[in-house]
Structure 1
Amino acid sequence: MPMTQSNQRAKLWVLLAAGSLAVMPGAVILPVLGDIKAQFQLDEFLAGRLASAHYSMVALFSPILGILASRVGWVRVLVGSLLLFALFGMAGTWVNSFSPMLLTRLLLGAATGGIAAASLGILSQIYQQEEERSQAIALASSTISLANIAYPLLAGLLGAANWQIAFYLYGLSLPIALAALLNLSDRPQSTEATASLLNSVELAKILSMLKNPRVLRFMLTLLLTSATAYATVTNLSIYLKTDPINADTPVIGLILASQAIGSAAISAFGLKYLTRRFGVVPTIGIGFGLLTLALIAMPNSVQPALLLLAAILFGVGLGIVVPSHYSALATITPPNLQPIVLAVGTGVTFLGQFLSPDIFGTIFNSEQPITTFYAGAMLSFSMGLLLVLASRNLQRIRES
């Protein structure tokens, strides 16, 4: 039975809501981390571990649960992960020391990996055409950007009286799980199709696909883009407090939020045109160019208004680069492996955030925010140039 437009829209809304939860683990704990640190009597290092512990688990479990979903069903994994997300997230309200809290954060990260992998996997199955898939992934990216604004605000408001109340936000995954059960279903497979699917996700074949030079390039640039974005946002908040800017908290919040707004706007309204006009890889190159300009502008701006514009430009670049990477990975991957490769890409994205302090703190030896901006600009320019030149070389080879 063909899918009606209203049914497809309902499925999309469920998947967007589920995908937005991928940012909730960090978005909820960061506004109340100071209160947790004080109550548990933690030093800076341990407090930082609580805030970032989930990243490593998302990176690990996104591909693992993606492979599992291809065997037992994507909707089953999505619903199960949503239920576990609520359980492990809200469990943080009932612990009173570091070790149990760290355990809940790790388990929450594992559940988040299942949500991220399954929601993106189902999205790629619903939208088979490249243009439609690119637009759907762009909408998912813009939803995540907006969630990065909404969830911290909600956590801050709820946690004003008691930090434990903020952790009940993780319970939002329960109605989303119900909506997923009502609106989503795994496609029925014939015995032959199921056997083919099971054969196609064998580890050797997955590894063979991931060794494809084009896939490896996109995975590497996706990881480094994620690391750059995380380092930029973190260091921008520090830079805004330094002389001669000395911005107050509301201004800092506005500037940080503006990059998410820029990302959401271009993902929702501009990415489809750019992809259709220039193609996926040149569009990624344009995005990296905008990131480079924004990162150069930031350390050379001392007026909050100019920094606001630079942050918006950074968000626009990020809103082009990240969803275009997922679209490119889906385009060069066989249909039966697309959800798994996208799940690996999701894991790589979170791995980039987890490794960001090491990449920018060790490789670039950047102890000052300004150094981080210039290092990010150099990296963004290099990645854009690499992808565009590699794509042109491949096109010449095919034409010869």
Structure 2
Amino acid sequence: MTKSSETRATLWVILASATLTVMAGAILGPIVPAIQSSLDVSESLAGLIITTHGALIVLVSPIAGTLIDRVGPRRPFIAGLLLYAAGGGAGLIIDSFIPLLISRAVLGVGVAFIYSGITVLIYDLYEGQRMNRALGLRSSANSVGGVVWPLIGGALGTLSWQAPFGVYLIALPLGLLAVVTVPETGRSKDTTRARSGTGIAGVAAILRRRPALLSVYVLYFAANAFLYSIVVFYPQLLAELGITSSLSISLYLSANGVAGGISAAIYDRLVARTSRHVLVAIALLLWVGAFIGATLANSALTAVPTVVVFGLGQGLVFPSAFAWIEALAPTDRQGQFSSYLASSGYTGQFLSPVLFGLVVPLFGIRGVFGAAALIATLGALTLGTALGRRA
């Protein structure tokens, strides 16, 4: 299978599957109170239904990446879709806490295989500008999923707290479609490539030779931490401005996803005119402006630019990070090193409320965005200095 042999149907299956990685937790956000009430558990335990799959993604992604390097991305990707349907859809019939938590762990394993499988499929099926386009569309699909699936979850939640779990079953027909549309890429059959080292020692040796990989992981960690600073703390800022309706808050957060989807959709055209370094520098400057805007917002109208401008930057950073892994990681270890990107991203999401939460007692909610602006400024200065040295 050559990189020119993929079909339009293959791309659609990949992009549809990309929305599922966002849907995994987002679709249940609106029904957490109903889960808490129906299962008679505390708010924190109900929250575990949302976060457990993320912990499994962090732990299992490196295993998924290593397996993908050995057998190719197709079979792990399809297996991930089937696990996703089983683990997510189980909530339709489970009505007790522990079994539901176990099903969420199965869901997390499925997401880990889907996430890394999509990444390596794009690496293997596309090249050059077409790969940049596929990566941009993948990030755009993630953003669209972040807008659409929570709305569907909220709507189904009006029927019953279990109804939204039925949406996870969409992964089953996607898995069947993948069987007939997603090709083997030949990765597992290529025996001519020398393995670039295994185990922790091998990974450490590669990172020493290519330290830029660590910079990409830090960037992706920070991007996800920034994103969840918006998701977690922006509703509290909006409440200070008198915006408390769940629908109104969801519209602000949806604006972030729409903006990110737009910039990611044209990523390939932007990167063709400049470079990934420049696009990421622009994104960091956009984030500085967005977070400063959050600290100054004093009305419903002035709170809009923050989520829009942040989303525009997000749509530039995410595909750039994946493209850098493809360029920097050894070809026979792309699954493994792309899986570390997934782990760093979900770790950033998990730690974001903890790290930024330390600021709230000292400086209030606006202090969270002031701290984020400072961090983004430091990142922009660091990257700007590096670009200046290269010039």
- TM-score band by shorter chain is over 0.9
Per-residue displacement from partner, 1:39-70 (whole Å, max 9, x unpaired)? 11222221222221111111221221011111
Evaluate the alpha carbon distance shift between residue 315 and residue 378 of structure 1 in structure 2; reply closer, same or farther with a 3 A threshold: same
Give the paired residue count.
Answer: 389
Q: Which residue of 1 aligns with 2:145?
A: 147
Distance 1:228 1:76, change over 3 A: same
* Deviations 1:318-376, CA, capped at 9 Å, x for gaps: 11122212222222233333333222212211111112122222488667321111111
Alpha-carbon separation, structure 2, partners of 1:277 and 1:95: 52
TM-superposed CA distance for 1:16, in Å, is: 0.8
Question: 2: CA distance between counterparts of 1:101 and 1:34?
Answer: 16
Tell me whether 1:326 sits opposite 2:325 in the alignment.
no
**Any idea what the Cα deviations from partners look like across 1:159-210, whole Å, max 9, x if unmatched?**
211111110111000111111110112234696x33636x336224334224
Q: Equivalent residues in 2 for 1:254-293 (5 A)?
A: 254-269=251-266, 271-293=267-289
**Other-structure match for 1:160:** 158
Which segments of 5 or more consecutive residues in structure 2 lack a partner in the other structure? none
Alignment of 1:152-191 (within 5 A): 152-188=150-186
Distance 1:354 1:257 in 2: 20
Give, in whole Å, the separation in 2 of the partners of 1:352 and 1:220: 9
Instruction: State the partner residue of 1:196.
Output: 193
Q: Does 1:238 align with 2:229?
A: no
1:105 maps to 2:101: no
Q: Distance in 2 between matches of 1:331 and 1:195?
A: 20
Structure 1 outlier segments of 4+, above 6 Å: 363-367
**Counterpart of 1:385 in 2: which secondary structure?**
helix
TM-score relative to the length of structure 1 = 0.91
Identity of aligned residues (%): 28
1:32/1:159 contact within 8 Å kept: yes
1:240-299 Cα shifts (integer Å, max 9, x gaps): 112x43353332221110010000001112x23332233111210100100110111012
**Secondary structure class of the residue paired with 1:14:** helix
Query: In structure 1, what is the equivalent of residue 202 of structure 2?
Result: 205
Rate the CA distance shift 1:12–1:201 in 2: closer, same or farther, 3 A.
farther
Q: Hey, what's the Cα distance between the residues in 2 that align with 1:56 and 1:29?
A: 16
Secondary structure of 2:121's aligned partner: helix
> 2:216 pairs with 218, 231, 250, which one?
218
Give the match's secondary structure for 2:261.
helix
Paired letter, 1:9: R
| Cα distance in structure 2, aligned partners of 1:231 and 1:98 | 28
Q: Given residue 277 of structure 2, which amino acid in structure 1 is its aligned partner?
A: V
- The amino acid of 1:342's aligned partner reads S
1:26 is aligned with what amino acid? G
TM-score normalised over the length of structure 2: 0.93
Q: Give ranges in structure 1 of 5+ residues lacking alignment.
A: none
C-alpha deviation, 1:34, in angstroms: 0.9
Select between 364-373 and 28-37 the one with higher mean Cα deviation. Answer: 364-373
Cα separation, 2, equivalents of 1:4 and 1:326: 20
Contact 1:121 1:343 in 2 (8 A): no
SS in 2 for 1:241: helix
Structure 2: which amino acid aligns with 1:266? S
Offset of residue 303 of structure 1: 2.2
Q: Distance in 2 between matches of 1:386 and 1:222?
A: 15
2:310 partner letter:
F
> Is the Cα–Cα contact under 8 Å of residues 125 and 339 in structure 1 kept in the other structure?
no
